[in-house]
Protein backbone atom coordinates (compact mmCIF):
# COMPACT_ATOMS: atom_id res chain seq x y z
CA UNK A 1 0.00 0.00 0.00
CA UNK A 2 1.26 3.52 -0.85
CA UNK A 3 0.92 6.81 1.01
CA UNK A 4 -0.84 9.43 -1.18
CA UNK A 5 1.20 12.26 0.41
CA UNK A 6 4.83 11.06 0.26
CA UNK A 7 4.49 8.06 -2.13
CA UNK A 8 6.07 5.63 0.40
CA UNK A 9 5.05 1.95 0.23
CA UNK A 10 3.85 -0.13 3.24
CA UNK A 11 3.04 -3.81 3.74
CA UNK A 12 -0.40 -3.35 5.30
CA UNK A 13 -3.00 -0.73 6.19
CA UNK A 14 -2.11 -0.46 9.90
CA UNK A 15 1.47 0.54 9.07
CA UNK A 16 0.17 3.15 6.65
CA UNK A 17 -2.15 4.69 9.25
CA UNK A 18 0.63 4.81 11.86
CA UNK A 19 2.91 6.45 9.28
CA UNK A 20 0.34 9.17 8.54
CA UNK A 21 -0.27 9.87 12.24
CA UNK A 22 3.37 10.13 13.28
CA UNK A 23 5.99 10.47 10.56
CA UNK A 24 4.49 11.43 7.21
CA UNK A 25 6.29 14.59 6.06
CA UNK A 26 3.55 15.45 3.61
CA UNK A 27 0.95 15.61 6.39
CA UNK A 28 3.14 17.59 8.83
CA UNK A 29 2.01 21.04 7.67
CA UNK A 30 -1.61 19.91 7.43
CA UNK A 31 -1.68 18.76 11.07
CA UNK A 32 -0.12 22.03 12.24
CA UNK A 33 -2.66 24.00 10.17
CA UNK A 34 -5.48 22.10 11.81
CA UNK A 35 -4.10 22.99 15.24
CA UNK A 36 -3.98 26.68 14.29
CA UNK A 37 -7.50 26.73 12.81
CA UNK A 38 -9.19 25.10 15.82
CA UNK A 39 -12.58 26.67 16.61
CA UNK A 40 -12.77 29.04 19.60
CA UNK A 41 -14.63 27.56 22.58
CA UNK A 42 -17.63 29.50 23.71
CA UNK A 43 -17.00 28.71 27.38
CA UNK A 44 -13.32 29.78 27.29
CA UNK A 45 -13.87 32.36 30.03
CA UNK A 46 -15.30 29.77 32.42
CA UNK A 47 -12.37 27.43 31.71
CA UNK A 48 -9.86 30.14 32.63
CA UNK A 49 -11.69 30.74 35.88
CA UNK A 50 -11.54 27.04 36.64
CA UNK A 51 -7.73 27.05 36.11
CA UNK A 52 -7.02 30.03 38.37
CA UNK A 53 -4.57 29.28 41.25
CA UNK A 54 -5.40 29.56 44.96
CA UNK A 55 -2.95 31.00 47.51
CA UNK A 56 -2.33 29.96 51.13
CA UNK A 57 -3.02 32.92 53.45
CA UNK A 58 -0.32 31.73 55.92
CA UNK A 59 2.76 31.05 53.76
CA UNK A 60 1.66 32.74 50.45
CA UNK A 61 2.23 29.55 48.47
CA UNK A 62 0.17 28.95 45.27
CA UNK A 63 -1.80 25.76 44.55
CA UNK A 64 -3.75 24.49 41.54
CA UNK A 65 -7.01 23.80 43.39
CA UNK A 66 -8.68 24.15 46.75
CA UNK A 67 -8.33 20.49 47.76
CA UNK A 68 -4.55 20.71 47.45
CA UNK A 69 -4.58 23.87 49.57
CA UNK A 70 -6.62 22.18 52.30
CA UNK A 71 -4.25 19.20 52.39
CA UNK A 72 -1.29 21.62 52.57
CA UNK A 73 -2.77 23.41 55.59
CA UNK A 74 -3.49 20.14 57.38
CA UNK A 75 -0.03 18.62 56.95
CA UNK A 76 2.82 20.86 55.87
CA UNK A 77 2.02 24.56 56.22
CA UNK A 78 4.76 26.09 58.37
CA UNK A 79 2.69 29.14 59.17
CA UNK A 80 0.02 26.96 60.79
CA UNK A 81 2.46 24.76 62.75
CA UNK A 82 2.17 26.71 65.99
CA UNK A 83 -1.58 27.15 65.47
CA UNK A 84 -2.15 23.39 65.21
CA UNK A 85 -0.04 22.75 68.30
CA UNK A 86 -1.88 25.52 70.16
CA UNK A 87 -5.23 23.96 69.24
CA UNK A 88 -4.12 20.69 70.79
CA UNK A 89 -3.15 22.48 74.00
CA UNK A 90 -6.25 24.71 74.18
CA UNK A 91 -8.82 21.94 73.69
CA UNK A 92 -12.01 22.54 75.71
CA UNK A 93 -12.12 20.77 79.08
CA UNK A 94 -14.90 18.18 79.41
CA UNK A 95 -14.26 17.34 83.06
CA UNK A 96 -11.86 18.74 85.66
CA UNK A 97 -10.66 15.84 87.85
CA UNK A 98 -8.58 18.04 90.17
CA UNK A 99 -4.88 18.07 91.05
CA UNK A 100 -3.94 19.23 87.55
CA UNK A 101 -5.78 16.37 85.73
CA UNK A 102 -8.34 17.26 83.03
CA UNK A 103 -10.35 15.16 80.60
CA UNK A 104 -10.38 16.79 77.15
CA UNK A 105 -11.99 14.30 74.76
CA UNK A 106 -13.90 11.04 74.92
CA UNK A 107 -15.68 8.73 72.48
CA UNK A 108 -17.17 5.23 72.14
CA UNK A 109 -18.53 5.16 75.70
CA UNK A 110 -15.29 6.38 77.33
CA UNK A 111 -13.22 3.74 75.52
CA UNK A 112 -11.23 6.50 73.78
CA UNK A 113 -10.23 9.47 75.90
CA UNK A 114 -7.66 12.27 76.06
CA UNK A 115 -6.31 13.59 79.37
CA UNK A 116 -4.12 16.56 80.22
CA UNK A 117 -1.67 16.52 83.16
CA UNK A 118 -0.19 19.74 84.51
CA UNK A 119 2.03 20.83 87.40
CA UNK A 120 2.18 24.11 89.27
CA UNK A 121 4.65 26.66 87.96
CA UNK A 122 6.98 26.38 84.98
CA UNK A 123 9.08 23.22 84.67
CA UNK A 124 12.05 23.26 82.27
CA UNK A 125 13.39 19.77 83.03
CA UNK A 126 11.41 17.01 81.21
CA UNK A 127 12.65 14.34 83.63
CA UNK A 128 11.49 16.35 86.64
CA UNK A 129 8.11 16.97 84.99
CA UNK A 130 7.65 13.25 84.30
CA UNK A 131 8.45 12.46 87.93
CA UNK A 132 5.92 15.04 89.16
CA UNK A 133 3.00 13.69 87.09
CA UNK A 134 3.83 9.99 87.53
CA UNK A 135 1.32 9.39 90.33
CA UNK A 136 -1.42 11.25 88.46
CA UNK A 137 -0.92 9.17 85.32
CA UNK A 138 -0.79 5.94 87.35
CA UNK A 139 -4.13 6.75 89.02
CA UNK A 140 -5.86 7.29 85.64
CA UNK A 141 -4.37 4.09 84.20
CA UNK A 142 -5.44 2.10 87.28
CA UNK A 143 -9.06 3.28 86.82
CA UNK A 144 -9.00 2.18 83.17
CA UNK A 145 -7.63 -1.25 84.12
CA UNK A 146 -10.51 -1.79 86.56
CA UNK A 147 -13.11 -0.72 83.98
CA UNK A 148 -11.73 -2.11 80.70
CA UNK A 149 -9.10 -4.73 81.74
CA UNK A 150 -6.93 -4.03 78.68
CA UNK A 151 -6.25 -0.97 76.52
CA UNK A 152 -3.55 0.96 74.63
CA UNK A 153 -1.95 4.15 75.90
CA UNK A 154 0.54 6.74 74.60
CA UNK A 155 1.92 10.03 75.90
CA UNK A 156 2.53 13.35 74.15
CA UNK A 157 4.79 15.89 75.85
CA UNK A 158 4.31 19.57 74.96
CA UNK A 159 6.92 22.25 75.54
CA UNK A 160 7.53 25.89 74.68
CA UNK A 161 11.00 26.35 73.18
CA UNK A 162 12.48 29.86 73.20
CA UNK A 163 15.55 31.33 71.49
CA UNK A 164 16.21 34.53 73.52
CA UNK A 165 18.79 35.94 71.10
CA UNK A 166 16.33 35.87 68.18
CA UNK A 167 13.15 36.40 70.28
CA UNK A 168 11.62 33.31 68.70
CA UNK A 169 9.33 30.88 70.54
CA UNK A 170 7.69 27.74 69.23
CA UNK A 171 5.59 24.96 70.71
CA UNK A 172 6.93 21.45 70.12
CA UNK A 173 5.48 18.09 71.07
CA UNK A 174 6.88 14.56 71.17
CA UNK A 175 4.76 11.42 70.86
CA UNK A 176 5.57 7.99 72.22
CA UNK A 177 4.50 4.71 70.67
CA UNK A 178 1.36 2.95 71.87
CA UNK A 179 1.82 0.39 74.62
CA UNK A 180 -0.61 -2.39 75.53
CA UNK A 181 -1.72 -2.37 79.18
CA UNK A 182 -3.45 -5.38 80.76
CA UNK A 183 -4.37 -6.44 84.28
CA UNK A 184 -0.98 -8.19 84.58
CA UNK A 185 1.07 -5.18 83.40
CA UNK A 186 3.48 -3.33 85.67
CA UNK A 187 2.47 0.33 85.49
CA UNK A 188 5.78 1.52 86.93
CA UNK A 189 7.71 -0.32 84.21
CA UNK A 190 5.46 1.06 81.45
CA UNK A 191 5.79 4.60 82.78
CA UNK A 192 9.57 4.27 83.03
CA UNK A 193 9.63 3.23 79.35
CA UNK A 194 7.68 6.38 78.49
CA UNK A 195 10.05 8.45 80.61
CA UNK A 196 13.17 7.01 78.96
CA UNK A 197 11.78 7.59 75.46
CA UNK A 198 14.16 9.89 73.58
CA UNK A 199 12.79 11.44 70.36
CA UNK A 200 15.35 14.25 70.22
CA UNK A 201 17.55 13.96 67.16
CA UNK A 202 19.82 16.84 68.21
CA UNK A 203 21.63 14.80 70.85
CA UNK A 204 25.41 14.97 70.69
CA UNK A 205 25.74 11.34 71.81
CA UNK A 206 27.82 9.27 69.40
CA UNK A 207 28.61 5.62 69.96
CA UNK A 208 32.30 4.75 70.00
CA UNK A 209 33.78 2.18 67.58
CA UNK A 210 33.50 -1.41 68.80
CA UNK A 211 37.28 -1.84 69.01
CA UNK A 212 37.45 1.10 71.45
CA UNK A 213 34.40 0.02 73.49
CA UNK A 214 35.76 -3.52 73.99
CA UNK A 215 38.84 -2.16 75.78
CA UNK A 216 36.63 -0.99 78.67
CA UNK A 217 38.75 2.10 79.22
CA UNK A 218 36.20 4.81 78.35
CA UNK A 219 32.90 6.09 79.74
CA UNK A 220 30.43 7.37 77.12
CA UNK A 221 27.68 9.50 78.68
CA UNK A 222 24.38 9.14 76.79
CA UNK A 223 23.32 12.77 77.11
CA UNK A 224 20.32 14.12 75.20
CA UNK A 225 21.66 17.67 74.87
CA UNK A 226 24.79 19.36 73.56
CA UNK A 227 26.52 19.51 76.98
CA UNK A 228 28.50 16.29 76.60
CA UNK A 229 31.68 18.08 77.76
CA UNK A 230 30.03 19.17 81.01
CA UNK A 231 28.48 15.76 81.72
CA UNK A 232 31.80 14.03 81.05
CA UNK A 233 33.72 16.32 83.44
CA UNK A 234 30.92 15.80 85.93
CA UNK A 235 31.29 12.00 85.67
CA UNK A 236 35.03 12.28 86.34
CA UNK A 237 34.43 14.21 89.59
CA UNK A 238 31.23 12.79 91.10
CA UNK A 239 30.56 9.09 91.85
CA UNK A 240 27.62 7.70 89.91
CA UNK A 241 24.33 6.71 91.53
CA UNK A 242 22.96 4.12 89.10
CA UNK A 243 23.87 3.53 85.48
CA UNK A 244 27.22 5.33 84.94
CA UNK A 245 26.33 6.16 81.31
CA UNK A 246 23.13 8.04 82.23
CA UNK A 247 23.28 11.76 83.12
CA UNK A 248 20.59 11.16 85.77
CA UNK A 249 23.14 9.17 87.81
CA UNK A 250 25.09 12.36 88.59
CA UNK A 251 24.26 15.78 90.05
CA UNK A 252 23.65 18.49 87.48
CA UNK A 253 26.87 19.93 86.13
CA UNK A 254 25.90 23.44 87.30
CA UNK A 255 26.12 22.18 90.90
CA UNK A 256 29.91 22.50 91.07
CA UNK A 257 31.19 23.56 87.67
CA UNK A 258 31.15 27.04 86.16
CA UNK A 259 30.58 27.66 82.45
CA UNK A 260 30.29 31.45 82.43
CA UNK A 261 30.93 32.80 78.94
CA UNK A 262 31.18 29.29 77.42
CA UNK A 263 28.66 28.10 74.85
CA UNK A 264 27.57 24.50 74.31
CA UNK A 265 28.80 22.45 72.57
CA UNK A 266 32.20 23.38 74.01
CA UNK A 267 34.85 24.11 71.39
CA UNK A 268 38.48 23.11 71.84
CA UNK A 269 39.55 26.76 71.94
CA UNK A 270 37.22 27.39 74.92
CA UNK A 271 38.62 24.63 77.15
CA UNK A 272 41.29 26.96 78.58
CA UNK A 273 38.45 29.23 79.82
CA UNK A 274 36.90 26.27 81.61
CA UNK A 275 40.26 25.40 83.21
CA UNK A 276 40.67 28.93 84.55
CA UNK A 277 37.12 29.02 85.96
CA UNK A 278 37.25 25.62 87.70
CA UNK A 279 40.94 24.85 88.48
CA UNK A 280 40.68 21.62 86.48
CA UNK A 281 43.19 20.58 83.82
CA UNK A 282 42.00 18.77 80.70
CA UNK A 283 43.70 16.82 77.92
CA UNK A 284 41.73 15.92 74.80
CA UNK A 285 42.64 13.03 72.52
CA UNK A 286 41.02 11.99 69.24
CA UNK A 287 40.41 8.94 67.06
CA UNK A 288 41.79 8.15 63.62
CA UNK A 289 40.40 5.33 61.45
CA UNK A 290 42.23 3.83 58.49
CA UNK A 291 42.59 0.55 56.57
CA UNK A 292 45.49 -1.76 57.42
CA UNK A 293 45.89 -5.19 55.83
CA UNK A 294 42.31 -5.03 54.55
CA UNK A 295 40.84 -4.26 57.99
CA UNK A 296 39.43 -1.11 59.55
CA UNK A 297 41.74 0.03 62.38
CA UNK A 298 40.91 2.76 64.91
CA UNK A 299 43.70 4.34 66.96
CA UNK A 300 43.97 7.11 69.53
CA UNK A 301 45.73 10.26 68.28
CA UNK A 302 46.44 13.63 69.79
CA UNK A 303 46.67 15.79 71.64
CA UNK A 304 43.76 17.78 70.22
CA UNK A 305 44.12 19.93 73.33
CA UNK A 306 46.96 19.77 75.88
CA UNK A 307 46.67 21.61 79.18
CA UNK A 308 49.47 24.14 79.75
CA UNK A 309 49.41 23.52 83.52
CA UNK A 310 48.48 20.25 85.19
CA UNK A 311 46.18 20.66 88.22
CA UNK A 312 45.38 18.39 91.16
CA UNK A 313 42.12 17.48 89.40
CA UNK A 314 43.04 16.28 85.92
CA UNK A 315 40.70 14.76 83.32
CA UNK A 316 41.50 13.01 80.04
CA UNK A 317 38.81 13.20 77.35
CA UNK A 318 38.31 11.44 74.02
CA UNK A 319 36.74 13.42 71.16
CA UNK A 320 34.92 11.39 68.52
CA UNK A 321 33.02 12.48 65.41
CA UNK A 322 30.49 10.93 63.03
CA UNK A 323 29.98 11.13 59.26
CA UNK A 324 27.73 14.19 59.63
CA UNK A 325 30.45 16.23 61.34
CA UNK A 326 28.94 16.00 64.85
CA UNK A 327 31.37 15.75 67.78
CA UNK A 328 31.07 14.11 71.19
CA UNK A 329 33.29 14.02 74.28
CA UNK A 330 33.90 10.77 76.22
CA UNK A 331 35.75 10.20 79.49
CA UNK A 332 38.98 8.17 79.40
CA UNK A 333 39.05 6.06 82.56
CA UNK A 334 42.24 4.11 81.79
CA UNK A 335 44.58 5.70 79.27
CA UNK A 336 47.20 2.94 79.58
CA UNK A 337 44.73 0.24 78.59
CA UNK A 338 43.33 2.40 75.79
CA UNK A 339 46.62 2.97 73.94
CA UNK A 340 48.71 -0.03 75.09
CA UNK A 341 48.11 -2.04 71.92
CA UNK A 342 49.45 0.91 69.87
CA UNK A 343 52.68 1.09 71.88
CA UNK A 344 53.59 -2.52 72.55
CA UNK A 345 52.30 -6.02 71.81
CA UNK A 346 53.24 -7.31 75.25
CA UNK A 347 50.36 -8.08 77.56
CA UNK A 348 52.10 -6.82 80.68
CA UNK A 349 50.67 -3.78 82.42
CA UNK A 350 52.10 -0.49 81.19
CA UNK A 351 51.83 3.03 82.55
CA UNK A 352 51.24 5.81 80.00
CA UNK A 353 52.04 9.48 80.47
CA UNK A 354 49.04 11.50 79.28
CA UNK A 355 51.32 14.41 78.41
CA UNK A 356 53.74 12.80 75.94
CA UNK A 357 52.24 9.28 75.51
CA UNK A 358 55.48 7.62 76.63
CA UNK A 359 54.98 4.33 78.46
CA UNK A 360 56.81 3.09 81.55
CA UNK A 361 57.16 -0.29 83.21
CA UNK A 362 56.27 0.82 86.75
CA UNK A 363 54.10 3.43 88.41
CA UNK A 364 57.17 4.82 90.21
CA UNK A 365 58.88 5.65 86.92
CA UNK A 366 55.73 7.32 85.61
CA UNK A 367 55.32 9.40 88.78
CA UNK A 368 58.94 10.52 88.64
CA UNK A 369 58.55 11.43 84.97
CA UNK A 370 55.44 13.52 85.64
CA UNK A 371 57.05 15.28 88.60
CA UNK A 372 59.84 16.44 86.28
CA UNK A 373 57.22 17.87 83.87
CA UNK A 374 57.20 15.83 80.68
CA UNK A 375 56.94 18.98 78.57
CA UNK A 376 60.56 19.84 79.29
CA UNK A 377 63.82 17.91 79.13
CA UNK A 378 65.85 17.77 82.31
CA UNK A 379 69.30 16.20 82.58
CA UNK A 380 70.80 15.19 85.92
CA UNK A 381 74.49 14.27 86.31
CA UNK A 382 74.98 11.60 89.03
CA UNK A 383 76.83 13.03 92.02
CA UNK A 384 78.67 10.78 94.51
CA UNK A 385 81.58 11.10 96.90
CA UNK A 386 83.80 9.19 94.47
CA UNK A 387 85.82 10.87 91.77
CA UNK A 388 85.16 8.00 89.35
CA UNK A 389 81.62 7.00 88.40
CA UNK A 390 80.97 3.34 87.64
CA UNK A 391 78.58 2.40 84.84
CA UNK A 392 77.09 -0.99 83.95
CA UNK A 393 78.58 -2.85 81.01
CA UNK A 394 76.65 -3.18 77.77
CA UNK A 395 76.39 -6.13 75.37
CA UNK A 396 76.41 -8.67 78.19
CA UNK A 397 75.26 -11.37 75.78
CA UNK A 398 78.22 -10.74 73.48
CA UNK A 399 80.62 -10.73 76.42
CA UNK A 400 79.31 -14.08 77.64
CA UNK A 401 79.56 -15.63 74.18
CA UNK A 402 83.23 -14.55 73.87
CA UNK A 403 84.27 -16.74 76.83
CA UNK A 404 85.35 -20.36 76.30
CA UNK A 405 82.96 -23.11 77.37
CA UNK A 406 83.80 -26.76 78.21
CA UNK A 407 83.29 -29.10 75.28
CA UNK A 408 83.99 -32.52 76.87
CA UNK A 409 84.41 -34.49 80.07
CA UNK A 410 80.68 -34.63 80.84
CA UNK A 411 79.14 -37.66 82.56
CA UNK A 412 75.64 -38.61 83.66
CA UNK A 413 74.63 -38.24 87.30
CA UNK A 414 73.87 -41.77 88.48
CA UNK A 415 71.71 -40.90 91.48
CA UNK A 416 69.60 -37.75 91.52
CA UNK A 417 67.20 -38.50 94.39
CA UNK A 418 69.11 -36.34 96.88
CA UNK A 419 70.36 -33.83 94.32
CA UNK A 420 69.75 -30.19 95.29
CA UNK A 421 70.75 -27.63 92.67
CA UNK A 422 70.34 -24.77 95.15
CA UNK A 423 73.10 -26.21 97.34
CA UNK A 424 75.77 -25.75 94.63
CA UNK A 425 78.17 -22.94 95.50
CA UNK A 426 78.68 -20.13 93.00
CA UNK A 427 82.46 -20.72 92.93
CA UNK A 428 82.26 -24.52 92.80
CA UNK A 429 84.71 -26.35 90.47
CA UNK A 430 81.93 -28.73 89.45
CA UNK A 431 78.90 -27.64 87.44
CA UNK A 432 75.75 -29.33 86.20
CA UNK A 433 73.65 -29.20 83.05
CA UNK A 434 69.93 -29.69 83.77
CA UNK A 435 66.98 -30.28 81.44
CA UNK A 436 63.88 -29.07 83.25
CA UNK A 437 60.53 -27.35 82.73
CA UNK A 438 60.98 -23.77 83.91
CA UNK A 439 58.26 -21.38 85.10
CA UNK A 440 59.30 -17.73 85.02
CA UNK A 441 57.48 -15.94 87.92
CA UNK A 442 55.81 -12.67 86.82
CA UNK A 443 57.31 -10.80 89.79
CA UNK A 444 60.78 -11.31 88.23
CA UNK A 445 59.88 -9.97 84.78
CA UNK A 446 60.72 -6.34 85.51
CA UNK A 447 63.94 -7.26 87.33
CA UNK A 448 65.18 -9.61 84.57
CA UNK A 449 63.84 -7.59 81.65
CA UNK A 450 67.29 -6.44 80.46
CA UNK A 451 68.81 -9.94 80.33
CA UNK A 452 66.45 -12.84 81.12
CA UNK A 453 67.82 -16.18 82.26
CA UNK A 454 67.82 -19.38 80.19
CA UNK A 455 67.77 -18.21 76.54
CA UNK A 456 66.19 -20.54 73.97
CA UNK A 457 67.06 -21.30 70.33
CA UNK A 458 64.12 -19.75 68.47
CA UNK A 459 63.54 -19.46 64.74
CA UNK A 460 63.12 -15.87 63.56
CA UNK A 461 62.49 -14.07 60.27
CA UNK A 462 59.70 -16.31 59.00
CA UNK A 463 61.25 -19.41 60.62
CA UNK A 464 64.32 -19.27 58.35
CA UNK A 465 67.05 -18.72 60.96
CA UNK A 466 67.60 -19.98 64.50
CA UNK A 467 68.91 -17.60 67.13
CA UNK A 468 69.53 -17.90 70.86
CA UNK A 469 66.91 -15.50 72.22
CA UNK A 470 66.59 -14.50 75.91
CA UNK A 471 62.92 -14.28 76.86
CA UNK A 472 60.61 -14.27 79.86
CA UNK A 473 58.34 -17.09 78.65
CA UNK A 474 57.94 -20.36 80.54
CA UNK A 475 60.19 -23.13 79.21
CA UNK A 476 58.57 -26.47 78.47
CA UNK A 477 59.43 -29.44 76.28
CA UNK A 478 56.61 -31.78 75.35
CA UNK A 479 57.66 -35.35 74.58
CA UNK A 480 55.85 -38.69 74.12
CA UNK A 481 58.32 -41.56 74.53
CA UNK A 482 55.46 -43.99 75.22
CA UNK A 483 52.21 -42.64 73.83
CA UNK A 484 50.19 -45.66 75.00
CA UNK A 485 51.39 -45.17 78.56
CA UNK A 486 50.38 -41.50 78.29
CA UNK A 487 46.89 -42.55 77.20
CA UNK A 488 46.57 -44.82 80.24
CA UNK A 489 47.67 -42.02 82.58
CA UNK A 490 45.22 -39.56 80.99
CA UNK A 491 42.38 -41.93 80.16
CA UNK A 492 39.77 -39.28 81.12
CA UNK A 493 40.57 -37.37 77.89
CA UNK A 494 39.98 -40.36 75.56
CA UNK A 495 36.98 -42.30 74.29
CA UNK A 496 37.99 -45.97 74.06
CA UNK A 497 34.48 -47.41 73.86
CA UNK A 498 35.33 -49.15 70.54
CA UNK A 499 38.49 -50.83 71.89
CA UNK A 500 38.35 -54.60 72.43
CA UNK A 501 38.78 -55.59 76.06
CA UNK A 502 41.88 -57.66 75.25
CA UNK A 503 43.61 -55.01 73.07
CA UNK A 504 47.36 -55.41 72.58
CA UNK A 505 48.20 -52.16 74.42
CA UNK A 506 46.23 -52.97 77.57
CA UNK A 507 44.28 -49.70 77.44
CA UNK A 508 41.13 -49.81 79.60
CA UNK A 509 37.73 -49.44 77.96
CA UNK A 510 35.64 -46.30 78.69
CA UNK A 511 32.13 -45.11 77.90
CA UNK A 512 31.38 -43.23 74.68
CA UNK A 513 31.39 -39.48 75.33
CA UNK A 514 31.02 -36.81 72.64
CA UNK A 515 33.92 -34.38 72.50
CA UNK A 516 36.72 -36.69 73.62
CA UNK A 517 39.56 -38.06 71.48
CA UNK A 518 38.67 -41.35 69.79
CA UNK A 519 40.75 -43.87 67.79
CA UNK A 520 39.01 -44.69 64.52
CA UNK A 521 41.02 -47.94 64.13
CA UNK A 522 40.20 -49.34 67.62
CA UNK A 523 43.79 -49.42 68.85
CA UNK A 524 45.14 -51.50 65.96
CA UNK A 525 48.52 -50.12 64.71
CA UNK A 526 48.64 -48.63 61.19
CA UNK A 527 51.24 -50.09 58.83
CA UNK A 528 50.73 -47.81 55.81
CA UNK A 529 48.64 -44.79 54.85
CA UNK A 530 47.89 -43.33 51.42
CA UNK A 531 45.92 -40.10 51.03
CA UNK A 532 44.26 -39.43 47.67
CA UNK A 533 42.43 -36.19 48.52
CA UNK A 534 40.52 -34.31 51.18
CA UNK A 535 38.87 -36.91 53.44
CA UNK A 536 39.79 -39.66 50.96
CA UNK A 537 42.44 -42.15 52.04
CA UNK A 538 43.41 -45.84 52.23
CA UNK A 539 44.84 -47.47 55.39
CA UNK A 540 46.46 -50.88 55.92
CA UNK A 541 46.38 -52.13 59.52
CA UNK A 542 48.75 -54.54 61.24
CA UNK A 543 46.07 -57.26 61.19
CA UNK A 544 46.14 -57.12 57.34
CA UNK A 545 42.79 -55.34 57.17
CA UNK A 546 42.51 -52.78 54.38
CA UNK A 547 40.22 -49.77 54.93
CA UNK A 548 39.20 -47.30 52.24
CA UNK A 549 37.51 -44.02 53.19
CA UNK A 550 35.97 -41.32 51.01
CA UNK A 551 33.58 -38.53 51.97
CA UNK A 552 30.03 -39.17 50.79
CA UNK A 553 30.62 -42.85 49.91
Partners of residue 63 on adjacent β-strands: 54
Which pLDDT score is estimated for 220?
92
Q: What's the alpha-carbon Rg for the chain, to the nearest Å?
A: 43
Residues 496-505: contacts with CB within 8 Å, 24+ apart? 496/523, 498/522, 499/523
Q: What is the pTM of this model?
A: 0.36
Distances from the Cα of 48 to the Cαs of 35, 37, 41, 200, in angstroms? 20, 20, 11, 48
pLDDT tens per residue across span 280-316: 999 999 888 877 777 888 888 877 888 888 888 999 9
The alpha carbon dihedral of 271, 272, 273, 275 has a sign of positive
Closest CA to 333 of 213, 236, 223, 211: 236
pLDDT tens per residue across span 3-49: 888 888 887 878 888 888 777 877 655 544 444 444 444 444 444 44
Which pLDDT score is estimated for 232?
93
| Of the listed ranges 320-334, 384-398, 419-433, the one predicted with least confidence | 384-398
Residues 345 and 230 in one domain: yes
Which pLDDT score is estimated for 445?
92
- H-helix segments, 298-456: 335-343, 363-371, 396-401
In our burial notation (b when 16+ CB lie closer than 10 A, e otherwise), range 129-166 reads: bbebbbebbeeebeebbeeeeebebebebeeeeeeeee
Residues 162 and 227 in one domain: no
Please tell me the total count of domains within the chain: 4
CB-based contacts of 334, cutoff 8 Å, min separation 6? 216, 217
Is residue 438, in this structure, part of any structural domain at all?
Answer: no
Distances from the Cα of 238 to the Cαs of 7, 169, 250, 403, 464, in angstroms? 97, 35, 7, 62, 57
Closest CA to 271 of 312, 224, 217, 309: 309
Residues 146 and 115 in one domain: yes
DSSP 220: -
In which band, very low, low, confident or very high, does the pLDDT at 75 lie, cut at 50, 70 and 90?
low
Between 332 and 204, the higher pLDDT residue: 332
CA distance 414 to 411: 9
pLDDT tens per residue across span 152-164: 998 888 887 776 6
Residues 260 and 302 in one domain: yes
Whether the per-residue pLDDT at 524 is higher than 80: the answer is: yes
pLDDT tens per residue across span 89-109: 556 778 888 888 888 888 887
Is residue 29, in this structure, part of any structural domain at all?
Answer: yes
- H-helix segments, 424-472: none
Residues 266 and 340 in one domain: yes
pLDDT tens per residue across span 163-181: 665 566 677 777 788 889 9
Residues 105 and 131 in one domain: yes
Is residue 345, in this structure, part of any structural domain at all?
Answer: yes
Domain, as residue range, for 23: 1-39
Amino acid sequence: MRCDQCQQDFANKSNLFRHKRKSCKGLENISKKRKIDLPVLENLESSVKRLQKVTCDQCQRDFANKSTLVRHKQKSCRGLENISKRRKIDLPVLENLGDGVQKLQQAFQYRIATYRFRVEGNCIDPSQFMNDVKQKVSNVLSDYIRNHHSFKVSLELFGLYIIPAKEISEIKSFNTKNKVVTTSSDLNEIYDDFKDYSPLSASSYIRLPCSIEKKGSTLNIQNQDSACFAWTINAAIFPHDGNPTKPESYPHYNTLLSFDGIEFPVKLKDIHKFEQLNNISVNVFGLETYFKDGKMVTEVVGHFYHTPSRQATHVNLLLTTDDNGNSHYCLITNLSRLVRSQKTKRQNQTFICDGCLQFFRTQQHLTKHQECDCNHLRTEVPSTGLKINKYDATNLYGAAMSNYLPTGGFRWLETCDNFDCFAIADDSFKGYVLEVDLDYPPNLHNIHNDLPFCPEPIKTLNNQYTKLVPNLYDKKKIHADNVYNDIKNNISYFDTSNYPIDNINGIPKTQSVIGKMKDEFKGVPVESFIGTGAKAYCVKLSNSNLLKKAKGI
